[in-house]
Structure 1
Amino acid sequence: MVVLPTFDPEYDIVFVGGGTSAGVTAGRLAAAAPKLRILILEAGIWTKDMLKYIQPGRYITHLLQPTTAVTHHVARPSEHLGGRSAIVQSGWCVGGGSSVNFVLYNRPSASDFDDWASEYDNPGWSSKELVPLLQKVETYEVDPSAPTHGSSGPLKVSYGGFFSETGKQLLDIGPKYDKRRASGKDANAFDAGSVNIFTRWAKWCGSDGKRSDVPHYFVYNQLGKTGLSLVHGARVKRVLFDDKTATGVEFVFDNRVHPGAPQEIHTIRATKLVVVAAGAFGSPAILERSGIGAVEVVKAAGIAPLVDLPGVGANYHDHLFTVAPYVSDPEDDTFDAIYRGEEEEWAKELTRWATDGSGKMAANGVDASIKIRPFDDELEGLGPEFLVRWKEHYANKPDKPLFWMSALSGFPTDHSKLPPLKYICAAYHLAYPASCGSVHIVDNDVYTPQDFEAGFLNNSADIAALRWAYKKGRELIRRLPLFRGAFPPVAPEFAEDSPAAFKDTGAVEVSAPDIVYSAEDDKAIDEFHRKFVATTWHSLGTCAMKPRKDGGVVDSRLNVYGVNNLKVADISIPPSNVNSNTYSVALAIGEKAALIIAEDLGISGV
């Protein structure tokens, strides 16, 4: 007999999705109004007090199949990727990405939020309003007195429990090689001084070694104490309406989370509000199954249209990510043994973590990074195909970098077919790819994969930017004392007689000349990216907050156009991309949504 979670037939507010934003919003509202009846319906699994979701160093286990904690979205094959299908993972558990991500602490540029307010007509969403919300949510243990950081929030930020030799060497060698890009203390300070500095990188975990996820600090600690309830493994089919006023939802118990669960439809009424917060993939799907979306998409799925909103499922964005591995010194203490699942290494690190919260289980191998913005005299090296994009998006906003880059201690991938080496990687993702995609339902079945067009590399400006990023990363890595040469299986295929061919088997001098690349070498780098560029797990934008006439789905109060008592409040609402890992953005959206809903309902103290 299958034992399923219980629930009441009616609540004041129903949250469709229990990820980062929903957890923050629901948690804040429940704390401020303990008698408010709030239900979170999460499609994925339970995570409370489980080490696999508390220990940051286990992040790699959530990305490799088989796993129950994430969903793997397979995009259409793309000519821009040499016929490959991009695969994008998203959280499938209470807490969403906050429970399974890399715990990388990376906040946006102030101009990203300001763009939302000024360029997309969203009053109240500028950096002036949102930065204080990010301060509110965190305790920045690195330096609680830092001006734009928080000192008393529930989520802890620290350097973690392990400082890799890779990170130490990048901090030492980077500024010596690239003298215009100096050492710095804070690349997350919301100003132009945050770019072009080499810094030690913080993590979303406390000095106790525990992951700073949302459910353990906003949700689980309130169950049974306030009016907040949570049902996991509940896959919402659609929002219910009386005319065009949202009145509740229909869902089935997910047969992956609850094997053998009857697939009958359950109905829950929401007397005040339905909040869709199922992420960049889930939120547009639920809206479309509810009849809200492009008429042709909804009709093709066999659903009666309710509101024609062509922006639903459009505007899909991610950060294009590449990991370029090189061979490291065999004595380097990298994360590779963890990635390979070596029992002795795991036992050692689990003991360290259990003893004092230190070690690789309290870390991620990303210990030093830089947000790189080209100087004027470097723009020529990016090529003419990028200059138009530069003038449109970057030139007048000096806090916007072109890409984020780190030297990784280890190669975070499936090692089953790799030689048992030690690796050091140049990892880089574009902060604002011009490429864009879409995601839509194809029928009315909640289990049918969506029609997903990732859009990766469908704009030539991104090819040019990645090419330049690869070159910058290679020059940095080949100067690190740990460097022991190329790893040809995952590298551009340069001609043997090219000056760019891999010849170094040890670190070069810091003052060594940069490699000179020919047009053929550039083509090899471009092909490398078509073969290996991937997601940064930063999907957003598919229910964009902007004017309806411009393809918007929600207004600045998060209300879905054309209906009542229905909001979307998650990472699907950003109208444009952000220079950050999306966890921080989802937190800001969650905090802002709590304030908006509290104001709508006359709740104080949020």
Structure 2
Amino acid sequence: MENFSQPDEFASTVFDYIVVGGGTAGIVVATRLSEDSSVMVGLVEAGPPVFGEPTVDIPGKMGQTIGTQYDWAFETVPQVGLSGQTLPWPRGKMLGGTSAMNFLVWNQGCREDYDAWAELGNEGWGWEVLNYYFKKTESFTQPSADQQREFITPHRASDHGVAGPVQTTYPSFLAETHKYWHDTLQNLDVGTNPSHFGGSNVGAWTSVVNVDPKTRTRSYSATAYLRPVSGRTNLKVLPNANVNEVLFGAEKTADGDLVATGVRFTTDGRIRKAICRREVILSAGSVGSPQILELSGVGNPDILGQAGIETKMENTHIGENLQEHIMTMTVFELRPEIITPDNYADAEFKREVDLLYQTTKGGLQTATPASMVYLPASKLIPDLSSITEKARKFTKRHPKSSRDYLLNSIRQRQFDSGLSLGQVEFILDHGNYSPVFKSEPGKKYATMMQILQYPYSRGSIHIDPSAAADGKVLIDPMYYQGEGEIDYEVMVQTQAFGDVICRTAPMNGIVVKRVYPPEDSSLDWREWVSRNTITDWHPIGTCSMLPRESGGVVNSQLKVYGTTNVRVADASIFPLHISAHVQATIYAVAEKAADLIKQTWGSPLRANL
């Protein structure tokens, strides 16, 4: 790409804006800011460009970048609530970030999820405003009439954008299990949602994916936003460079705020710095953004002191309020004639599938998870009284002005207000996804994923004082600990519903039996859940957008408290989790962030909202 920069050139350029992190959000912010030809924008990414990489581009190869050089390969500290286990936390380390690694699900949360952000003191962050940005980022191609009939894809076209950079559509090939999905849920009195982008995703639906319908390749931030502006001379992109800290001027403002002057970064074994005149924008994700703030001397003095870092601005909330979707997987054996990725064990079959994709852009290599249903807890748990009482107790234990009181008062509504919100997501897809169960040769499998959407578990991400300079972080989601016991109760009691789906007609016509955990009358679901809960790769909240006195790190303009010109724009600013996969919302946050920055500096190229 023409706007790729060499380290010395990047270091010698005086930028107006420096964006740290070339992932899902950072690329959006950088490309939108550089629409103004009068400014110079720098974008720094720790990973390499991966244009043309098959494991990124081909939908059916999703997941194959996990554990490779394109993965940060983080892991949690041992989790008491998970029987002492340490969990892997894959995150994308490449241009495009996790938008180049994820499983391509494109959806939005419920109206109430975003209105809750506004209710927490963030004016302009409710559903109506964010829905504008959802549409701005997307270019949706409707499925053909034949696809709509075959795959059951009811939708309302007006809920989608038609001119945005990210290409979205419905899959062109779906697992055989999907043929029975909607009818099976109907038999369980769960209807198909005719407009799951319209402010409520509750019910069954077929997933939209971020795939270009013409090429049937992944559409992600690097291909959607960056590659089309590769000739833009006022945007310089530096891959394979780690930002070590944000640089601040020696003097604070009259209000005592820090003023950022640039960043220090490492590449090719050398440390350099880059200077900016206006703003530094952190888009390094829920792990990287709080880490960089702490390395820059902004954070909890106790943590910084242990790492030998001078405290330049105290904020004990940085790295706190970590929330994550948690998931369990159950595996079912299918009838042997069902076609699944398990067929790849036959080399000739795999060659045929690969050839079909190369020649027609069709077939199994375009298949992605598409059988979705979001359900309220009341549908899954007959008696919610004990959980409701715990939720009320956990709200009342906190001072009314505190972050935890504000968040819990919203969370408890899911149990006692009668709102129909998707507290648990179920996804069924062909193949064995389990990191524990090993497939038997010749067998065919499907995996049911049960994913909690509104967690009470709240943890933290901080630099590791013993190895902060080496980029080590301590990730402690505190799964099922403290108030997270509510999450545990919900997950234990909802496990049965995945079984029910697969034992209900017509799905039961292709399911032979459950193989993980095995069908055993003595199975202790409580113990199984504590040993088999994993991450769903949707961490948020570590630089929360909240009032400062209520535990915030950034304000509603995304500025870091105690600084004049450092913003955060990524999933770390979500104050509360949403009932959805996060990538579409991250794009919307980044689009809005770019407009906020343009508005601050008087750019005419912004939305007037």
TM range (shorter): 0.7 to 0.9
Shift of the 413–471 alpha-carbon distance from structure 1 to 2, 3 Å rule, reads closer
Q: 1:230-270 CA deviation, whole Å, 9 max, x = no partner?
A: 111111100000032000000112xxxxxxx32x2111001
Contact in 2 for aligned 1:207/1:357 (Cα 8 Å): no
Q: CA deviation at 1:286?
A: 0.3
- CA deviation after TM superposition for structure 1 residue 387, in Å: 4.9
Structure 1, unaligned stretches of length 5 or more? 254-260, 496-520
Deviations 1:24-44 (A, max 9, x none): 11112223x134211110011
Q: Distance in 2 between matches of 1:185 and 1:252?
A: 50
Q: Does the C-alpha gap of structure 1 residues 312 and 391 become closer, same or farther in structure 2, counting only changes over 3 Å?
A: closer
> Cα offset for 1:399?
4.5
Q: Structure 2 CA distance, aligned partners of 1:285 and 1:601? A: 27
Aligned equivalents of 1:46 and 1:22: distance in 2? Answer: 14
How far, CA to CA, are the matches of 2:546 and 2:324 in structure 1? 18
8 Å Cα contact 1:402/1:465 also seen in 2: no
Contact in 2 for aligned 1:25/1:590 (Cα 8 Å): yes
Letter in structure 1 aligned against 2:325: H
In the aligned structure 1, how far is the partner of 2:350 from the partner of 2:361? Answer: 14
Question: For 1:163 and 1:385, how far apart are their aligned partners in 2?
Answer: 37
Q: How big is the alpha-carbon RMSD for the aligned residues of Structure 1 and Structure 2?
A: 2.1
2:432 is matched with 411
Q: What letter matches 1:384 in structure 2? A: S
* Residue 38 (1) aligns with residue 41 (2): yes
Rounded to whole Å, the distance in 2 between the matches of 1:69 and 1:397 is 44
CA distance in 2, matches of 1:397, 1:136: 32
**1:23 positional shift:** 1.0
1:12–1:492 distance in 2 versus 1, CA, 3 Å = farther
Relative to structure 1, the CA distance from residue 379 to residue 326 in structure 2 (aligned partners, 3 Å threshold; closer, same or farther) is: closer
SS at match of 2:9: coil
* 1:270 has 2:293 as partner: no
* Distance across 2 between alignment mates of 1:157 and 1:55: 15
Pair 416,473 (structure 1): closer, same or farther in 2 beyond 3 Å: closer
1:170 alignment partner AA: W
Q: 1:579 & 1:79 partners in 2: Cα distance?
A: 26
Q: Deviation digits for residues 320-358 of structure 1, max 9, x if unmatched?
A: 0111101111111112345x6x64444333322222322
Q: What residue is the counterpart of 1:157 in the other structure?
A: 168
Deviation at 1:418, TM superposition (A): 2.9
For 2:437 and 2:424, the matched residues in 1 are separated by 30
Equivalent position to 1:204, from 210, 232, 248: 210
Which amino acid counterpart does residue 108 of structure 1 have in structure 2? G
Aligned residue type for 2:537: W
Residue 193 (structure 2) pairs with residue 184 (structure 1): yes
Report the residue type matching 1:487 in the other structure: V
Deviations 1:353-412 (Å, cap 9, x if unpaired)?
222322232221x22211111447x64445613554374444437242111112111112
**Percent of aligned pairs with the same residue?**
26
Q: CA deviation at 1:417?
A: 4.2
Amino acid at match of 2:327: F
- Deviation, 1:440, is 0.4
Q: Secondary structure at the match of 2:263?
A: strand
| Contact in 2 for aligned 1:425/1:477 (Cα 8 Å) | no
The separation in 2 between residues aligned to 1:203 and 1:87, in whole angstroms, is 25
Q: Which of 178, 182, 198 does residue 167 from structure 1 map onto?
A: 178
Query: Are residues 345 and 549 of structure 1, via their aligned partners in 2, closer, same or farther at CA, if it must alter by over 3 Å?
Result: farther
Offset of 1:7 from its aligned partner? 3.0
Partner of 2:220: 213
> Map of 1:146-545 to 2, 5 A cutoff?
146-176=157-187, 178-179=188-189, 181-191=190-200, 194-195=201-202, 197-208=203-214, 209-242=216-249, 243=251, 244-253=258-267, 261-262=268-269, 264-337=270-343, 343-364=347-368, 366-375=369-378, 379-382=381-384, 384-385=386-387, 387-389=389-391, 391-396=412-417, 398-413=419-434, 417-420=438-441, 421-443=443-465, 445-458=468-481, 459-479=484-504, 480=507, 481-488=509-516, 490-491=517-518, 494-495=521-522, 524-545=524-545
- Report the Cα distance in structure 2 between the residues aligned to 1:121 and 1:582, rounded to whole angstroms: 21
In structure 2, what is the Cα distance between the partners aligned to 1:174 and 1:109?
A: 20
Partner in structure 2 of residue 547 of structure 1 = 547
Alignment CA distance shift 1:493-1:188 (3 Å): farther
Q: Is the CA contact 1:17–1:41 (under 8 Å) kept in the aligned structure 2?
A: yes
Change (3 A) 1:106 1:388: farther
- Corresponding residue of 2:9: 7
Change (3 A) 1:47 1:585: same
> Counterpart of 2:131?
131
Which secondary structure does the structure 2 equivalent of 1:546 belong to?
coil
Distance 2:412 2:285 in 1: 31
Residue 151 of structure 2: aligned partner? none
TM-score (norm 2): 0.87
Whether contact under 8 Å (1:386, 1:460) holds in the other structure is no
Contact 1:35–1:226 at 8 Å: present in 2 too? no
TM norm structure 1: 0.87
Shift of 1:540: 0.9
Deviation at 1:473, TM superposition (A): 0.8
* 1:282 Cα offset (Å): 0.4
Q: After TM superposition, give the deviation of residue 298 of structure 1 in Å.
A: 0.9
2:29 — aligned with what? 25
CA spacing shift, 1:415–1:347, aligned 2, 3 Å: farther
Q: For residue 196 of structure 2, what is the amino acid of its counterpart?
A: A
Which region of structure 1 is more displaced relative to structure 2, 199-208 or 275-284?
Answer: 199-208
Secondary structure of 1:439 counterpart: strand
Deviates more, 1:462-471 or 1:537-546: 462-471
Q: How far off its partner does 1:486 sit? A: 1.9
Q: 1:446 to 1:357 in 2, by over 3 A?
A: farther
SS in 2 for 1:174: helix
The answer to whether the 8 Å contact 2:462/2:474 transfers is yes
Letter in 1 for 2:286: A
Q: How has the CA–CA distance of structure 1 residues 188 and 343 changed in structure 2, closer, same or farther, with 3 Å as cutoff?
A: farther
Deviations 1:485-521 (A, max 9, x none): 1214x458642xxxxxxxxxxxxxxxxxxxxxxxxx6
| 2:330–2:447 CA contact under 8 A, matched in 1 | yes
Stretch moving more, 438-447 or 81-90: 438-447
Change (3 A) 1:145 1:385: closer
Report how many residues are paired: 555
Q: Distance in 1 between matches of 2:231 and 2:469?
A: 30
Cα deviation, 1:9-65, whole Å, max 9, x if unaligned, reads 22111111111111111112223x1342111100112112322222122112122x3
Whole-angstrom CA distance in 2 between matches of 1:189 and 1:54: 29
- Listed one character per residue, the Cα deviations across residues 407-437 of structure 1 (whole Å, up to 9, x for unaligned) are 1111124599431321112112011011111
Distance 1:50 1:487 in 2: 34
Partner amino acid, structure 2, of 1:74 = E
Contact 1:324 1:425 in 2 (8 A): yes
Contact preservation (8 Å) 1:116, 1:575: yes
Q: How far apart, in 2, do the equivalents of 1:372 and 1:398 lie?
A: 11
3-state SS in 1 of match to 2:208: coil
Distance 1:530 1:403 in 2: 17
SS class of match (1:90): coil
Unaligned ranges ≥5, structure 2:
144-154, 252-257, 392-410
- Measured at CA, do residues 145 and 201 of structure 1 come closer, stay the same or move farther in structure 2, by a change above 3 Å? closer
SS in 2 for 1:159: coil
